[in-house]
Amino acid sequence: MIRYEGRLYRPPSEAESLILQATIGCSFNRCTFCGMYRDKRFRVRSLDDLRAEIAWAAAELPGVSKVFLADGDALVAKVSFLAPLLVELRRAFPDLRRVSCYASPQALQVRSVEEMRELRELGLTLYYLGIESGHDAVLERLVKGVGAAEMVRVARKASEAGLKLSTMILLGAGGRALSAEHARASARVVNAIQPRFVSTLVMTPVEGTPLWEEHLRGEAEMLSPVELAAELRAFVAGLELEGSVFRSNHASNHLALAGSLPKDKERMLAALDAVLDDPEHAPFTPEWMRGL
């Protein structure tokens, strides 16, 4: 059977995927807002153990079409590990359509275009990249490890290798003072990358993180749902994308928004304008439902 260590995390779009822990934890694990892997020591798992789990899944879970490689940074593992793992997945699951993983900017720095292309040809076709912000001061505050220009550079490497990118922006990360600049700068970075998917999350204090400690001290500035809607509007207004899917369907969001860009840009802006014009009747997600 499949054995998991600690809590599992996956993007909303991987709800129907088979999840394999190719690696444990995150190799960077310093972002101030993220508490997902702070209780784990990063390491690459044994190929033999993973082969045994794949064999079990092939026998017990027929029809697997999508696989998500956890934990937070599988792409940082060497190609000599990932390539045979992907070969084994293709052999075990005849209906397999895609394999995906989180991709930190640090992993994208160390993987060459040729290596990513090789892995893509073996089935690893989608990376989830947390951009978080396009504003350098915000990225530094979040301890993301790279600035905006480097984020664009490494993301373009993945695009050059033929990968699909699903990117995330963290609403509220700039606080009130940098809200508008954070939104506009994030749109510029996303425009430079031209990812296939764009989504937003809301910065939320999580116990065990530096952000949580700031929150307890009263130093973490959390934007209201209306302020977040204004920031989201500024972000969407700045997007100039040639063919991307937009979603704000993560549990942290106060508003659910979806569309294809550029086709649905004006519709989404109109929906946000309606919220800002009449916030008392806005379809904000009730607090008790968030995170369920």
Is 286 a residue whose pLDDT tops 80? no
Is 183 a residue whose pLDDT tops 70? yes
pLDDT tens, position by position, 71-98: 998 999 999 999 999 999 999 999 999 9
Is 261 a residue whose pLDDT tops 80? yes
Judge whether 4 lies within some domain.
no
> For the chain, what is the domain count?
1
Judge whether 290 lies within some domain.
no
Short-list 101, 110, 161, 98, CA closest to 128 = 101
pTM: 0.94
Judge whether 118 lies within some domain.
yes
pLDDT tens, position by position, 45-60: 999 999 999 999 999 9
What local confidence, expressed as pLDDT, does residue 289 receive?
A: 41
What local confidence, expressed as pLDDT, does residue 291 receive?
A: 46
Q: What is the CATH number of the domain that holds 246?
A: 3.20.20.70
> In sequence order, what are the beta bridge partners of 165?
127
Beta strand pairing call for 66-70 and 98-102:
parallel
Judge whether 229 lies within some domain.
yes
What local confidence, expressed as pLDDT, does residue 254 receive?
A: 85
Owning domain of residue 186? 12-284
pLDDT tens, position by position, 26-43: 999 999 999 999 999 999
Judge whether 289 lies within some domain.
no
Judge whether 129 lies within some domain.
yes
The structure tokens listed for 245 are 């899917």
pLDDT, average across residues 162-181: 97
Angle at 132 between CA 243 and CA 226, to 5 degrees: 90
CA dihedral 176, 178, 179, 183 (to 10 degrees): -170
Is 24 a residue whose pLDDT tops 70? yes
pLDDT, average across residues 103-124: 98
Judge whether 54 lies within some domain.
yes
User: Lowest-confidence range among 25-29, 61-65, 248-252, 259-263?
Assistant: 248-252
Judge whether 163 lies within some domain.
yes
